[in-house]
Structure 1
Amino acid sequence: MTSAEAMTVRQKFLALLTLVIALVLEIVDLTIVNTALPAIKASIGADASASQWIVAGYSLAFALLLMAGGRMGDSFGYRRLFLIGVAGFTVSSVLCGLAQSGEQLVTARLLQGATGALMAPQSMALLQVLFDPLERVSKLALFGVIGGLASIAGPIIGGLLIKADLFGLGWRLVFLINVPVGILAMAMARAYLPATRSDRHSGYDSPGMVLFGAAVAALLWPLIGAEGEQADPAAFLVLLACPPLAWLGWRHVAARTRAGMPALFDPAIFAIPTYRLGLAMSVAFGAASAGFLLVFAFALQAQRGQTPLVTGLLHMPFGFGAMFGIGVLSRKLLPALGKWLPLGGALLMAASATLVLVATARPDWPLWTIAPAMVAAGIGMGMTTGCIGPITFAQMDRAHAGAASGLMKTCQQLGSALGVALAGSAYFAWGQWLGVPPAEMAAAVIALILLACAAFALRLPDGIFDSAH
């Protein structure tokens, strides 16, 4: 396949299916590890620090290299970087499955996150290349539905694989199951993905990658390690380094762009209101979603005594609501309602998520009565997240597809880390300090973040899909 313009409808469908397989690979691997962590600790004796970094190391490496992965796709070809990323992800999954110590597994997870960062931005970039802005609404809705199913299935599949203990492999199957999926994705990518790249300047921007990578690390490292119980002066100093590093990175890419040299991204893309506000919504919504799911899962187990498998199953109403919000409401109503749809979704999720967390923490509240509120929270989630992608890229020039996609993925990761840090601190520490029940304190923080997301949506222009590229 050589040209997106020359592809038939059937060929585009097969290309889309290839990207969906990679999406499942990415999301399932992110969520399945949480279920396997106790078994991993028991098997290879990973200490508390290693256990934390088995989960967090993937996210950190992923976030650090997303912008670089997106820009490299622009420069060297989206299919080529996709293939390299999937191949690396598959190999690192084998290394995870063969690890004999906590240190080996953490190293393999870092490699898995790094190669995932090469793979993930190419999916969004290829969606922009393959489909027009309004077509992307339905395609991104499909991504949302599949992503929702994958996030629900991850913990359940993990529990089932560990319980089945096929060939005596136990938790190792959680990683080794990626191998056949990765091989299938590579075969389909070679057959069906177009060999295309940006028509802008080729090459890459190593200093820009280093500066922005350091800024992301300075922000994420303290947030990922935040326990919410006591302040770490060293972490605070690292956090203070983030703004100056980001400022230096911005000046660097601006200077290279003015000089006509390859840059990590073109600062001019931030002049597009839909893109700028879409990124802000991504951060806020990512923070609210990650914080809500963290507190809900912890409260179910710590305050209700539920098992991990039951906890995973109790997420299903939320997931089904999210799929309805993405696959039906966002896909059908976004072109007509525009910014009012994500605004309404954020407000609906704020109200229903608050009800869920308050009810979950009260033992006298039957769990089955929480299900309707979980469905409503999921619908609100779907109405919002199903709109953010199409809105963010509605007026983006396809020549910036890779860099713009990498920036959006980075914002989503930043939001998730921020949400875990804020909601976790509210639940474990702030509520106690202020004399507020932990779940209610966390619910208030999450609701405020969702109100910020609604405020960003309100500032979106009318006619979002006008002058689209």
Structure 2
Amino acid sequence: MTDIHPRGVATLEQFSVYRWRWPALAVLLVAEAMDMLDALIATIASPAIRADLGGGASTMQWLGAAYALAMAVGLITGGRLGDIAGRRRMFLIGATGFTAASLACAVADSPGMLIGARGLQGLFGAIMIPQGLGIIKEMFHGRELGQAFGMFGPVMGLAYVGGPVFAGWLIQLDPLGAGWRTIFLINLPLGVCALLGGWRFLPESRSPDRPRLDLVGVALASLAALLVVYPLVQGRELGWPAWTFGCLGAGIATFALFGWYESRVAKAGGDPLVVPSLFRKRAFAGGLAMGTVFFAAVAGFSLVLSLYLQLGLAYSPVQAGLASLPWSAGLILGFVALHFAEKRTEPGRAVIQSGTVVMAAGIAAFIATLDADPTGWRLAPALVLTGLGMGLIMGPFFGTVLSAVDPHESGSASGTLTAVQQLGAALGVAVLGTVLFGSLGGADHLAPGTPGAFTGPMEVTLWVEVALLAATLLASWFLPRHGHPQEH
């Protein structure tokens, strides 16, 4: 069997027989877990952080927003840097910076220092994460690619759902006597594992034509993402002043300008940041649309569920995390069902659509369970059903969307797809959070333990969630029938 030294540049044929590809996949999964956990855990720890470091309500808001904003702004560029300088090299740079930024978060002695370190985490995460999808797309093909992405999805989903539980447990257990700082210190051993494993197992790969970095495209994409994400994150806290809508409009216009400029660069024979040909591929364009509304639905439901459990039912962070465990259990069931389905057929559009219907049924069951005196046990069946549907969607999602992407487009495609995931999550948090607190009539200051006041607003909010899943179902028709990757 042909082998490749990890520091060597491999051809696609060499990648297909690279004997270390499964250990390399494990390294990439560790990196993905770090990113997903850090996107979530600061929200659970924000009251303890505020009590220790001071600051106002905006401090708690920016603990999560700084990470998401930096990640969304940098993801497209991060994927392109892998095409140019090498995906293994950029992965190692990103993992090093992410680990160092985590240490900076753990030793922060002021809100400003912590928020700045969170922004650095997001920027280095934007360099690290897109390389994983690009390397996977080139190391695996055929049925093995579906299996690789099938492992990628569970790690993302379990980290997303289990992150709050893990964060609450760490804060309460306080194993190092460091309080909330423990949630950032946990990244140090994970980061070291990612670095050592990446150095040993990841093969180098880059686009064969060594494109140049499109600096104007970088500026336009970053500005457009900033103009969209910033008002979505800050708008609710500021009462949605007129300038937030102006920013959103300017962001959409800047994205249009970015698309026009990238097409012009491509026609002139240059190296655009996002390859325009991607948007002429049905699987990828449909995946962007579907990913936006699906991840909006997932992030929005995660937010309102946490608010309902902690504000409405007066659960502590640990209790709220435990009450959401049925969601994790359903997610695992979804991945198990997907595993057995893969033995019979290549998962693709039909599986994703089935998962969307199941997830919507779970949300409808949750609505039916709401009353003036709900309990975690009564909500559990609906959460299991919701998680089951989510697992059926997330498992084949990336493999199906990237099924028509050529190897030289993988860095650009993976960065763009992951950036849309972050933008969709920000949109979901903004929309569903606004609907919930708007329906409460400004009663977000209610004392914990008033479930009756939350029943009606939760019903309204969750029907918006069902509408997002309906949009997900419609967008899924643009995906290919099967997720089997094309051979290039």
1: CA distance between counterparts of 2:78 and 2:163? 25
Structure 1 residues 327 and 402: CA distance shift in structure 2, 3 A: farther
Residue equivalent to 1:355? 365
Question: TM-score by structure 2 length?
Answer: 0.91
Q: 2:459 corresponds to which letter in structure 1?
A: E
Structure 1, unmatched stretches of 5+, are none
Query: Are 1:403 and 2:422 an aligned pair?
Result: no
1:458 aligned partner, one-letter code: W
> SS state of the match for residue 409, structure 1?
helix
| Counterpart for residue 106 of structure 1 | 115
* Cα distance change, pair 430–92 in 1 and its aligned pair in 2 (3 A): same
Per-residue deviation, residues 180-206 of structure 1 (Å, max 9, x unmatched): 211111111111101110113422011
Which of 8, 16, 24 in structure 2 is aligned with 1:15?
24
C-alpha contact (below 8 Å) 1:354/1:440 kept by paired residues: no
Structure 2 runs not aligned, ≥5 long: 1-5, 443-452
Greater Cα offset, 107-116 or 249-258: 249-258
Given that 2:334 and 2:391 are in contact with CA atoms closer than 8 Å, whether structure 1 keeps it comes out as yes
Match of 1:193 in 2: 202
**Matched letter for residue 472 of structure 2:** C
The aligned runs of 1:166-315 (5 Å cut-off) are 166-227=175-236, 230-315=239-324
Distance 2:486 2:182 in 1: 48
Alignment correspondent of 2:463: 444
Whether the aligned pair in 1 keeps the contact of 2:80 and 2:213 (CA below 8 Å) is yes
Equivalent position of 2:354 in the other structure: 344
Residues 342, 106 of structure 1: CA spacing in aligned structure 2 closer, same or farther, 3 A cutoff?
A: same
Between the aligned residues of both structures, percent identity stands at 34
The number of aligned residues is 467
- Are the equivalent residues in 1 in contact too, given 2:70–2:119 (CA < 8 A)? yes
Give me the whole-angstrom Cα distance separating, in 2, the residues matched to 1:463 and 1:358. Answer: 35
- SS in structure 1 of the partner of residue 240 of structure 2: coil
The answer as to whether partners of 1:427 and 1:442 remain within 8 angstroms in 2 is: yes
- TM-score normalised according to structure 1 size: 0.94
Q: CA deviation at 1:285?
A: 0.5
- 1:361-402 alpha-carbon deviations (Å, 9 max, x no partner): x23334312211111111111111222211110111011111
Contact kept, 8 Å, 2:96 with 2:191, in 1: the verdict is yes
Q: Who is 2:157 aligned against?
A: 148
8 Å contact from structure 1 (residues 330, 341) kept in 2: no
1:90 maps to which of 85, 99, 105: 99
Counterpart residue type for residue 285 of structure 1: F
Q: 2:377 aligns with which of 365, 368, 373?
A: 368
Superposed CA offset, 1:8-66 (max 9, x none): 56411111111011111111222222222111111111321122111110000000000
Matched AA of 1:28: L
Tell me which residue corresponds to 1:455: 474
Q: Between 265-274 and 459-468, report the one with greater CA deviation.
A: 459-468
Per the alignment, residue 383 of structure 1 pairs with: 392
1:137·1:331 contact (CA, 8 Å) conserved in 2?
no
- Aligned to 1:168, the other structure's residue is in SS state coil
Whether 2:40 is the aligned partner of 1:31: answer: yes
Stretch moving more, 226-235 or 212-221: 226-235
Equivalent residues in 2 for 1:16-165, closer than 5 Å:
16-165=25-174
SS of residue matched to 1:135: helix
Q: Which residue matches 1:414?
A: 423
> What is the Cα deviation at residue 232 of structure 1?
0.9
- Larger CA deviation: 329-338 vs 298-307: 329-338
Range with greater deviation from structure 2 (457-466 or 93-102): 457-466
Shift of residue 290, structure 1, vs aligned partner: 0.8
Residues in 1 aligned to 2:259 and 2:309: alpha-carbon distance in whole angstroms = 43
State the Cα deviation string for residues 220-246 of structure 1 (Å, max 9, x = none).
111111327833112111111012211
The DSSP-based 3-state class of the residue aligned with 2:314 is: coil
The alignment partner of 2:39 has SS state of: helix
CA displacement, residues 393-416 of structure 1 (integer Å, 9 cap, x when unaligned): 011101111110000001101110
Q: Report the equivalent of 2:403.
A: 394
Cα distance, 1:225–1:110 mapped onto 2, change above 3 Å? same
Instruction: Quote how far apart the aligned CAs of 1:341 are.
Output: 1.4
Distance 1:175 1:357 in 2: 35
